[in-house]
Structure 1
């Protein structure tokens, strides 16, 4: 039998679904479709767009600054994804043990995630420039300084968030499997790599997806920490697209083409990463 609530849902589902669907269409699908169309046009406003074919994409691919920003974002994403997930997993593993004050430690590690990216950028700019001042250097002295400054900032901000996801995964591990491993004489290393990590793959999939996409989409921290200096050598993809669209007259269409390429890149990388990690998941 269908309950009264079930009958009401079946009768009035469109009333509850339609507003959200319309908001999704108006707020996402329509602007996305217009953005794809404008990437094939030369324009300064939406009303004066003139179709130019693939010219914008050709200029985007030939732009050395865009290619340099692509390499910067790829390297940053690889480094931060590895560091964040390894550190977050290790901290989560320690904090799921019976450690005095573990709840406080969880809160402390999570707090950086609550701070806005712009504020974090300026805070770490002061801290890192203060350290580098001993060698008469600053974050804007070389692009490599800005790169490692961003690595430190991003890892410090995101480790606590990923830690929470890993803690939730570890707390849901089947205790009977772990107890059976202990009875069979498995040591700590065998338990970790043959039982815990395989069973934690769903959490690893989620955290890897988040860190990979966050690495490519990084903008506000990049803007506040170095603003791409010196000479845009510490500029990521998102910042490069913003500069192209708003800072180079006549390049609005190229900036839009870069944004479409950026979307495709992140989508492809995220799908590949998700499939690779999902294929290693096992059932408890």
Structure 2
């Protein structure tokens, strides 16, 4: 999903290149993945294949490199190598990167740089070093507005709720919610957990507050496991409501939880192409 979205902008760029330089038949594009991002690799390969199957004057030739998350030196070497090989743009790496060296190199050399997932925003650094970087993932302020709009929906009408989050960086997407409801004063309660924790302990603490409404912010690959642990503490009954903030929830195995034990109301979000009413309502079925 993320990579499919990020292809839209470079696709326009390459199509325009083909229109003005008819002698170019193959356009090289560089991409840098971390070693454990196999799902991203498959999604990227699918997107490239779909574009190459279109009747265009341009064929994309991906040059892929793989690197460990803590290897900034190799990241720099790969970026330089891709540019030396004549790539038209570089995709990645993902937000797991501990360095912005790829952005800096692309900015210095004039090579477009495409990001496809959410990065923590720093406007000063962006202005200085990231002029040629485009992130096609929704901006933090856009997500903050969208999340607040969802909680304003009459179908929810939450007077109080608990935000359960796995990464403190995600709280930036909640800033408008914090302005709407006070924290810890019959409004918002916050609970933090780490990947790999015993999630039953988390839900035991949350359920002790008799909370019925939960905003869950965690990666899609652990959503099912985290939710499953809440069943033991009566967090999934007919009077419970959940808002799942991961844009990749639809890629998880959450549907496997559909049972008599799990009858809570679930609200989730995803990014899709705009479909104007009356084809789909703004608050569409997930």
Question: TM-score, normalising length from structure 1?
Answer: 0.22
Q: RCO (CA 8 Å, sep 6+): is it higher in 1 or 2? A: 1
Q: Rg larger in 1 or in 2?
A: 1
More strand as a share of residues: 2
Question: TM-score, normalising length from structure 2?
Answer: 0.22
More helix as a share of residues: 1
